[in-house]
Structures are given as C-alpha cells and as structure tokens.
Amino acid sequence: MFLRIMKKGILVLGLLLITVSCSEYQQLLKSTETAPKYAAAEELYNEGVAEDNNNKLKKALRLFEDIEPELRGKPQGERLVFLVADTYYQLEDYYNAPFQFERFLQLYPNSQKAEEAAYKSAASYFYRSPRYDLDQTDTNKAVEELQVYLNNYPDGEFVESANEKATELRIKLEKKAYEIAKQYHHTEYYKAAIASFNNFISDYPGSPFREAAYFYRFDSAYRLAINSFQVLMEDRLEEAKEFSAAYKKYYPEGEYTSQLEDALLEIDKRLQNF
C-alpha cells in the first residue's frame, strides 16, 4: 500500500515538474529578454545532445532562431549561428543543416568552428546519399564537399572520417556504373554492355568491381560473336579473344578463370571454321 502511494506520488511530482517546465518554456518564448532565452536554449541544446533527445533539441532550436536577429553582429552571434546549424545536424535534418553550416562559414570564415562546420556540411550530404540504384546527385555533391574539406584541412580533426565517407560513396558510384553495364549484359544488349564495361574499366581503375567488369566485357563480346551473322562472327570472336587476354593478364588466377577457359575452347573451335 505504502509503495503504491509512493509510486503515485512520484508520478504526480513528475507530471508537475513537466507542467512547470513547459510553462516556463512558454514564458520564455513570450519573453523579450534575450539573455535568459539564450541561456535556456544552450542548456536545452547541451542536454538534447547528451541525451539524444530530439524534443529538447527542437525546443532549443526554436529559442535560438527566435533570438538570432537580436544577436546578429554581436559577440554571441558567431556561436549562436553555429549552434543553429549544429542543432539541425543533431536532429538529422540533413537538408537544412548544410545550408546553415554554409551560411555560418560565409559569415565567420575565420572561426575556430570553421573546420567542424565544413566537415558537418559535407557529412550532411553523405547522409542524404541514397542507395546506389537511385539518382546519385547528392552522392556526387557529398564526394565533392568531402574532397573540399580534405583539401582545406589535410591534417584536420575529421580527416579519417571524411576519407572513410568519401571511399564509401565512390564505391557506391562505382557499383551503380557497374550494375548499369551488367544490366546491359543480362538483357542481351551486348554492344552497349561492351561500351559500358570499357568506360567502367577506364573510369574506375581501382574499383573492387574491376575484375568482374573485365570478365563480363569478355563474356558480352563472346555472346555477341556466337550470336552474330557468319560474316561478322570471325572479327567478333577475335575481339572476344583480345578481351580474354586482358582478363588473364590482370587476373591470371581470377575468380572467373574456369568460365573464361570454357568459352575460349568454344571460340577456338569456331575460329577453325574460318
């Protein structure tokens, strides 16, 4: 019985504190005094980051944006503009965050927070990047912005993270280009597949998909040849052999060697007829 009363008392006290807190916050919003708003907003921001509490971050943001016109051009203005941008970032609003960070950098290019703002602006585009089979505009923008950060801060605090993000995005772009070429192969548009694999091999020399691209370029040429009219077949079989030689040059014990050798036997057999 006593425990039940205690639990009810704690619940009532908690609700009372929330009510008081909400009431105080509403009073702050209506207030015309900048200093208490700023202090409360920064406290809410710090608690929101520490607790991963979006509700507190949203309250902080509302107060920050309310007092920003009053502090513009004043000593506190620099920190305030950064906190507005970072609050959007902490809220994972990756569409507003880069705009706010870029505004901060335009207003305060020599700030001690400039590097962090540049990194988080670029990182926002990274988090906006969609899966590889969708439009990659944001991915390209993220790669560009991360590279700008790395160029400007080669020894910066966030270099390792920026490099990891840039590498992940480049692999995503490579995967998209590779899958487009492979789709041509699977749908039997072999000429388009060969052209796409040629472009891929040229554009992405260090790609993890490079060996597969060499093989499927050969396989596309092989299938194009054996399905050609007789008058075209010989030249196309020879081209396929050239592509097989390129694969074996770079991958003498590659994953696709067995399949390639089987196809080469068929190519040599057919070439004997010419």
Ordered DSSP codes for 228-244: S-HHHHHHHHHHHHHHH
**Rounded to an integer, what distance in angstroms lies between the CA atom of residue 265 and that of residue 10?**
82
What's the DSSP call for residue 134? S
**Cα Rg of the chain (Å, integer):** 30
Q: Which residue has the higher pLDDT, 29 or 209?
A: 209
Q: State residue 21's pLDDT score.
A: 62
φ/ψ bin of 245: left (φ > 0), alpha (ψ from -120 to 50), beta (otherwise): alpha
Q: Residue 117 — very low, low, confident or very high, per pLDDT cuts 50/70/90?
A: very high
HSE of 165, CA atoms in CB hemisphere, 13 A: 27
Q: Mark 169-193 as b/e (b = at least 16 C-beta within 10 Å).
A: bbbbbbbbbbeebbebbeeeebebb
Rounded CA-CA distance 165/176 in Å is 17
Distance, CA of 184 to CA of 87 (rounded, Å):
45
Q: Has residue 190 got a pLDDT over 70?
A: yes
What does the pLDDT look like over 120-145, one tens digit per residue?
999 999 999 999 999 999 999 999 99
For residue 12, pLDDT beyond 80: no
Q: Poorest-confidence range of 21-30, 71-80, 96-105, 176-185?
A: 21-30
Q: Over the chain, what is the mean pLDDT? A: 91
Asked if residue 219 lies in contact with residue 193, where contact means CB atoms within 8 angstroms, the answer is no
pLDDT of residue 2: 39
Residue-wise burial string across 57-74, b where 16 or more C-beta atoms lie within 10 A, e elsewhere: bebbbbbbebbbebbeee
Q: Is 188 left (phi over 0), alpha (psi -120 to 50) or beta?
A: left
Confidence grade of residue 6 (pLDDT, cut at 50, 70, 90): very low
Most confident of 27-31, 38-42, 149-153: 149-153
Average pLDDT over residues 135-160: 97
Whether the predicted pLDDT of 241 surpasses 70: yes
**For residue 116, pLDDT beyond 90:** yes
pTM of the complete model: 0.82
pLDDT for residue 18 is more than 50: no
Q: Is the pLDDT of residue 219 over 90?
A: yes
Distance CA 113, CA 111 (A): 5
Q: Which two tokens stand for residue 165?
A: 């993000």
Please name the residues in contact with 90: beta carbons below 8 A apart, sequence gap of 6 or more. Answer: 48, 49, 57
Residue 251: closest CA among 192, 201, 199, 189: 201
Q: Which of 271, 169, 257 has the alpha carbon at shortest distance from 214?
A: 257
